[in-house]
Amino acid sequence: MKVRSTAKRASSAKSSTTAASTPPARKNKKKSGSASAKYPDIRRDLERQRTAILEEVEEVLTNRPDLEAFPDVSDQASAEVDQNFSMRIRDRERKLLKKIEEALDRMSGGTYGICERCDGDIPYKRLKARPVTTLCIECKTLQEQEERANR
């Protein structure tokens, strides 16, 4: 038993010295049915989230407050900061909506849950926590390390 654990440690130490840009080796598993049939709860969550965002956008567009002209410069600046903050939030929601649509398209296409970088399966727990993800945790970690190195 001790020999096996030593061999495993040596193997893992050897693999950790591999180049950071190389994605982890994974076996390409065959797709078993449609991804939407495989992840019905995640599809439902994504559709609910999409609906909530679209309803909020509709609410904002129908009840759009005009920027008032305040007599005090400080009040005017504060109102503009609030408006800019709201615009940044809407921009983030727009980007999230696009990612949700792409995830639903991947489900329909049968590629949902497959890492774009290494073609391995993305674990269910990761998909449940971050349903719009396109990378497994190992590839996402590598991507973040590369981004930090390029700064």
In total, how many domains does the chain have? 2
Query: pLDDT tens digits, residue range 30-64?
Result: 444 555 578 899 999 999 999 999 988 888 777 76
User: Do 38 and 52 share a structural domain?
Assistant: yes
User: Do 103 and 120 share a structural domain?
Assistant: no
User: Do 102 and 42 share a structural domain?
Assistant: yes
Full 3-state SS string of the chain: CHHHHHHHHHHHHHHHCCCCCCCCCCCCCCCCCCHHHHCHHHHHHHHHHHHHHHHHHHHHHHCCCCCCCCCCHHHHHHHHHHHHHHHHHHHHHHHHHHHHHHHHHHHHHCCCCECCCCCCECCHHHHHHCCCCCCCHHHHHHHHHHHHHCC
User: Do 95 and 37 share a structural domain?
Assistant: yes
> Per the domain annotation, does 141 fall within a domain?
yes
The pLDDT of residue 3 is above 50: no
Write down the pTM of the prediction: 0.67
User: Do 119 and 64 share a structural domain?
Assistant: no
CATH number at residue 66: 1.20.120.910
User: Do 124 and 57 share a structural domain?
Assistant: no
> Per the domain annotation, does 37 fall within a domain?
yes
pLDDT band at 27 (very low <50, low <70, confident <90, very high): very low
Query: pLDDT tens digits, residue range 80-122?
Result: 888 888 888 889 999 999 999 999 999 999 999 999 999 999 9
User: Do 82 and 71 share a structural domain?
Assistant: yes
User: Do 150 and 132 share a structural domain?
Assistant: yes
User: Do 91 and 72 share a structural domain?
Assistant: yes
Q: Which domain holds residue 78?
A: 32-112
> Per the domain annotation, does 18 fall within a domain?
no
User: Do 98 and 78 share a structural domain?
Assistant: yes
User: Do 73 and 131 share a structural domain?
Assistant: no
